[in-house]
Amino acid sequence: MAGFAYHQSLGGRTGAPPMREHMSAASTEIKPGDPIAHDSDGYVDLASSGDSVLGVAQNHVNPGSGEHPYVHYIPALKDIIWIAENDATPQQTDIGTQIDYGTATTGAFTVDDTTTSNGDVNVLELYDTENNLILVNFNLTVW
């Protein structure tokens, strides 16, 4: 698994998570599970470590130059819990820490429990240690 997958909402919402859409930056491929953030032109682009995250993409866009298709995303609300892949086997001591993205490329986002300089996500729970999966929420969000 690469990228972030919706797990649940702690805000009492049931059913499907909230969805929004925003125009993507030109010439930037975005895949489902990629965290996205606003760029300096007001479009959405792949999030980098330290960015305030807008949400997690739910569709694939691969625009050409000057094209700005819509990216559908689940907002990175504080009460939404995500499944994320850690770069290594997660440890019980990771719970409660703020960690950074590990790999931050299209379709291959992971988190890294050994890097904490930007605190991109909060580690909430171990989920599937055999597959290096943990439950997180985004620490740095637009919302």
Average pLDDT, whole number, for the chain?
Answer: 94
Q: Quick check: 12 pLDDT over 90?
A: no
Percentage of the chain lying above the pLDDT 70 cut: 100
Strand order in 20-23's β-sheet? 20-23, 70-75, 55-57, 35-38, 44-46
**Burial state string for 126-142 with b = 16 or more CB within 10 A and e = fewer than 16:** bbeeeebbbbbbbbbbe
CATH domain 15-75 topology? Virus Head Decoration Protein; Chain: A, (2.40.300)
* 100, 86 contact by CB (below 8 A): no
pLDDT tens digits along 58-71: 999 999 999 999 99
pLDDT band at 2 (very low <50, low <70, confident <90, very high): confident
Please indicate, yes or no, whether the overall pTM of this predicted structure exceeds 0.85: yes
Domain ranges of the chain: 15-75, 80-138
